[in-house]
C-alpha cells in the first residue's frame, strides 16, 4: 500500500529570525497573516502550540480559552485549512524551569497538568484529537538533581491524566535526546513507545518522529520511523535536516543528506503512511540570512524535496532491486540508488 501525502507546518516555522545570540532580523508576521501562506505554499493543515491558538492562555478562564480557540477554528475554515495537532508549550513559563511533569516542585507539576488540560480543550475546539508532546524540559542538566526512575512514573501519570480528561484524545510523543536540557528522559521512538505501554490506554499513545531529533540521537530517522510504523504508532512526522551533532537546526528537508531524506520518504511511502489521515509535517526554520520577502521558501522547498524524492522512489524498478538484494550485490544496489538520486531518471536495466 502506497502512502498518501498531505502537508502541514506550525506557525513557528515562519519566524523573524531571532536566535540565542541576536535579535529578530525580519518583521514578525501576525498569526492571521500566516494563515494566508499555507495554501499558497502547498499546505493544508496547521500544527499548533496551545498558545499559537490562544496567546496568553494562562491568564484566561477555561471558557474564554475555548471561545478563542473556536474563533481560530473559524479562521482556519475561512482559509480551507484544518488543525493537525495541538502541543502544550511547557517550556517558557517560569514554573517549567526545572521541567514540567517531572519538576521536583509539586506546584510546578500541577501547573503543567492544568496547562495540558487547557491544550486538550483547545485541540477539541479546533477539531483535532491529536496532541503532540515535545517533552522539552523533562530531563536534567545535572544527573543528581532528579530521580530518572521517578521521572518515568511522573510522565506516565501526566499522560494518564490527559487520557482520562478526554476519552478521544490521542497523544503523540515527540522524542528528542537533548536541547534545551543536557539529557532528556525520552530521547527515542523506543523510549516513547515503551512509555506508552505503561499508560492506562497504550492504544492512544504514539509518536511524532522528527528527523533532526533522531539524528541528534545518533540514529537514522527512517529507522526511527520504521520502528514506530511497526508498532502502528507513527501518527505524525516532523521532517527537516540536521548538519551533524550541534544545536537543533531544523534545516530544509534533504538539504544536508539527500539520501537520508530519500529513505525517510521511501519508508513512509512503502508502508502506507497517510492512509489513516496522518499528515507530513515539516518542522523547518528559515535561515537567519533570508530577507522578509523570501522567508517562507524553506517550507515550499522542503515540500518540493519530499515530492521529488517520492517520484524517484516510485520510479525505481522494484524487480531489479529485488534481484540485487537476492544476489547480495549491494554495490549494484548502492550505485543504482546513487544514480537515481543524481539523475532523477530510471536507469536502463
Longest Cα–Cα distance in the chain: 66
Q: Which is it for the CA torsion 193, 195, 200, 204, positive or negative?
A: negative
* 87 contact, one of Mg ion, ligand XLS, none, CB 5-8 Å limit per kind: ligand XLS
Q: Which of residues 35-64 bind ligand XLS (CB under 6 A)?
A: 49
Using CB under 5 A, pick the residue from 51, 84, 138, 210 that binds Mg ion: 210
Q: Judged by CB under 6 A, does residue 265 bind ligand XLS?
A: no
CB-CB contact of 208 with 176 (8 Å): no
Which residue among the candidates 50, 51, 52, 250 is catalytic per the annotation?
Answer: 52
Report the residue number, 172 or 340, with the smaller CB distance to ligand XLS: 172
Between 95 and 238, CB nearer to Mg ion:
238
CA-CA distance, 221 to 165, in Å (whole number)? 32
Using omega within 30 degrees of 0 as the cis cutoff, is the peptide bond preceding 180 cis? yes
235 is a contact residue toward ligand XLS (CB under 6 A): no
Residues 6+ apart with CB under 8 A from 337: 259, 262, 316
The least CB distance from residue 253 to ligand XLS, in Å, is 13
18: Cα separation from own chain's centroid:
21
Which of the 8 DSSP states describes residue 19? B
52 is catalytic: yes
Cβ atoms of 274 and 280 closer than 8 Å: yes
Based on the shown chain and the rule CB under 5 A, indicate whether residue 224 belongs to the binding site for Mg ion. no
CB contact at 8 A, 234 and 273: yes
CB 54 within 8 A of CB 69: yes
- DSSP-based three-state secondary structure for 342: helix
Instruction: Based on the shown chain and the rule CB under 5 A, indicate whether residue 238 belongs to the binding site for Mg ion.
Output: yes
Q: Which of 224, 249, 278, 283 binds ligand XLS (CB under 6 A)?
A: 283
Known active-site residue 49? yes
Q: Is 73 in the site for Mg ion (CB under 5 A)?
A: no
Give CA–CA dist 166/259, Å, rounded: 41
Provide Rg for the chain, Cα atoms: 20
Residue 210 or residue 269: which is nearer to Mg ion going by CB? Answer: 210
Q: Does 115 bind Mg ion (CB under 5 A)?
A: no
Binding mask 74-113 for ligand XLS (x = CB under 6 A): -------------x--------------------------
* Closer to ligand XLS by Cβ: residue 134 or 253: 134
Nearer to ligand XLS, 210 or 278 (CB): 210
Q: Residue 241 interacts with ligand XLS (CB under 6 A)?
A: no
Residue 210 engages ligand XLS in binding (rule: CB under 6 A): yes
Convert 256-286 to b/e letters by CB count within 10 Å (16 or more is b): bbbebbbbbbbbbbebebbeeebbbbbbbbb
Which of 146, 170, 204, 238 lies at the binding interface for ligand XLS (CB under 6 A)? 238
DSSP 284: -
Binding mask 263-302 for Mg ion (x = CB under 5 A): --------------------x-------------------
Which residues are identified as catalytic?
49, 52
Q: Write out the residues near Mg ion by the rule CB under 5 A.
A: 210, 238, 283
Amino acid at each position: 500500500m502506497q502512502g498518501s501525502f498531505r502537508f502541514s507546518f506550525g506557525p513557528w516555522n515562519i519566524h523573524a529570525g531571532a536566535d540565542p545570540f541576536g535579535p529578530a532580523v525580519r518583521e514578525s508576521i501576525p498569526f492571521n497573516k500566516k494563515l494566508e501562506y499555507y495554501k499558497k505554499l502547498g499546505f493544508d493543515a496547521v500544527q499548533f502550540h496551545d498558545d499559537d491558538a490562544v496567546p496568553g492562555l494562562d491568564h484566561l478562564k477555561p471558557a474564554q480559552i475555548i471561545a478563542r480557540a473556536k474563533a481560530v477554528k473559524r479562521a482556519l475554515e475561512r482559509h480551507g485549512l484544518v488543525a493537525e495537532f495541538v502541543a502544550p508549550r511547557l517550556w517558557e513559563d517560569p514554573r517549567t524551569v526545572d521541567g514540567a511533569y517531572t519538576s521536583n516542585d509539586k506546584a510546578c507539576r500541577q501547573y503543567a497538568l492544568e496547562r495540558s488540560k487547557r491544550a486538550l480543550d483547545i485541540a477539541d475546539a479546533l477539531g483535532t484529537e491529536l496532541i503532540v508532546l515535545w517533552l522539552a524540559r523533562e530531563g536534567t542538566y545535572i544527573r543528581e538533581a532528579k530521580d530518572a526512575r521517578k521521572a518515568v512514573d511522573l510522565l506516565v501519570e501526566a499522560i494518564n491524566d490527559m487520557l482520562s480528561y478526554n476519552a478521544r484524545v490521542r497523544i503523540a510523543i515527540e522524542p528528542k535526546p537533548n536541547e534545551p536540557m543536557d539529557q532528556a528522559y525520552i530521547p527515542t521512538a523506543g523510549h516513547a513507545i515503551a512509555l506508552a505501554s505503561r499508560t492506562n490506554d497504550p492504544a492512544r499513545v504514539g509518536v511524532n518522529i522528527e528527523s533532526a531529533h533522531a539524528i541528534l540521537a545518533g540514529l537514522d530517522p527512517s529507522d526511527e520511523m520504521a520502528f514506530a510504523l511497526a508498532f502502528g504508532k507513527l501518527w505524525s512526522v516532523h521532517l527537516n535536516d540536521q548538519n551533524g551533532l550541534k544545536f537543533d537546526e531544523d534545516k530544509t528537508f534533504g538539504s544536508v543528506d539527500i539520501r537520508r531524506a530519500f529513505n525517510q520518504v521511501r519508508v513512509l511511502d512503502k508502508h502506507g503512511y497517510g492512509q489513516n489521515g496522518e499528515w507530513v509535517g515539516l518542522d523547518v526554520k528559515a535561515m537567519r540570512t533570508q530577507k522578509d520577502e523570501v522567508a517562507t521558501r524553506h517550507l515550499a522547498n522542503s515540500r518540493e524535496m519530499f515530492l521529488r524524492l517520492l517520484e524517484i522512489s516510485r520510479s525505481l524498478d522494484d524487480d531489479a532491486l529485488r534481484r540485487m538484494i537476492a544476489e547480495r550485490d549491494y554495490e549494484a544496489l548502492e550505485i543504482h540508488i546513487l544514480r537515481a538520486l543524481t539523475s532523477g531518471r530510471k536507469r536502463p536495466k
